[in-house]
């Protein structure tokens, strides 16, 4: 029971981190005048992160802008965190 609650909280925290990262990337994309369709796809991926506990493996092209590339690296690092902490 305790591990189930811990796993649920961990998934929620990762989903929240994904939402914060998507918000930051959206801010950068709006400054770069990116199409709105791209922003919708980004938020759809965040929504699916909350719905699907295993996550979605994505391989997106690397942005040419250095700020966008740094934000993409942050999002990718957040996605590579382990799902459940190893037992002590």
35: pLDDT strictly greater than 70: yes
Question: Average per-residue pLDDT in the chain?
Answer: 76
d(CA 59, CA 46): 15
Domain boundaries in the chain? 2-79
Alpha helix ranges (H) inside the chain: 2-31, 36-51, 66-79
Mean pLDDT of 45-58: 71
Give yes or no for a contact between 84 and 7, defined as CB atoms under 8 angstroms apart.
Answer: yes
d(CA 38, CA 34): 7
pLDDT tens for 10-22 read 777 877 888 888 8
Mean pLDDT of 67-77: 78
């Amino acid at each position: 029971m305790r591990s189930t609650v811990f796993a649920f909280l961990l998934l929620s925290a990762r989903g929240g981190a994904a939402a914060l990262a998507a918000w930051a990337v959206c801010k950068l994309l709006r400054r770069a005048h990116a199409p709105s369709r791209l922003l919708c796809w980004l938020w759809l991926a965040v929504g699916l992160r909350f719905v699907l506990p295993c996550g979605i493996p994505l391989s997106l092209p690397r942005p040419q802008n250095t700020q966008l590339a740094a934000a993409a690296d942050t999002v990718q690092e957040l996605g590579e965190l382990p799902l459940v902490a190893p037992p002590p």
